[in-house]
Chain A
């Protein structure tokens, strides 16, 4: 098989108040279905390797995980190399149920913003209250970054991971760097 390439080939910028990095290829599966149905939940838990997160949260462990996207949608994260196996497993487990599982790994880009001002960088771009009391722990938020849809969560207090569409990867990288440019710290959080 051909070698997977990320949208920006792992570009990184450390010149600003936070480090913006494009993360390597990440396996992602969109699973849609009735999230109260046991077979769907069981298959999702098996594919993601973690327990089902509650509404508005995600559960991650290493490269694997499950993110709650909407009342009928989950995003399953995994190692890029294992996506096709997991998709096949999902399809066989859900063959008799009303559900949809699609490999979206190559349709997405993943970014990471790290540093003590990571929260500020996101707060400048998304309509989300990034105060540590409001956005913390395993919370997962689908929203917009400047003008494009994106989703993010915080693996720890100084790190934000962002998922966006691959077609807007360059735009998201640029606006993140603009929001993180040197000397632009506000100091509200």
Chain B
């Protein structure tokens, strides 16, 4: 059971109040992009064993979207942050590196 904090309404609750919506920080390629780029945007997803960034929605609460950094192996939740970012904020990266000294944002686990 994951304990998740919603940065939009300040509520911390277990995961059944929320809904996971897959990988965060996907880049959508605009008009003129290649088929390969569009395919990667649509279908290609990381499936890491370890640190992962996900989009979540506070389904039974404020209804807002936000991002969560968690570990898919230990189910540890490192933190949540605003969905209005392209990359994870530094304080979240610091928290992850405090718990996972081997992990780096540049070379995430395969």
User: Which A residues have a C-beta under 8 Å from some C-beta of B?
Assistant: 55-56, 69-71, 73, 127-128, 141-144, 149
Contacts and interface: CB of A to CB of B under 8 A. Distances in A.
Closest A-B pairs by Cβ, 3 of them: A70-B62, A144-B60, A142-B61
B48 interface: no
A69 B8 CA distance: 11
- Per DSSP, chain B at the interface is loop
Contacts of B14: 127
Contact of A70 (B8, B13, B16, B17): B8
20 contacts: A55-B9, A55-B10, A56-B10, A56-B11, A69-B62, A70-B8, A70-B61, A70-B64, A127-B13, A128-B13, A141-B11, A142-B9, A142-B61, A142-B62, A143-B11, A143-B13, A143-B60, A144-B16, A144-B60, A149-B59
Interface residues of B, number: 14
Interface of B: 8-11, 13-14, 16-17, 59-64
Contacts of A73: 62
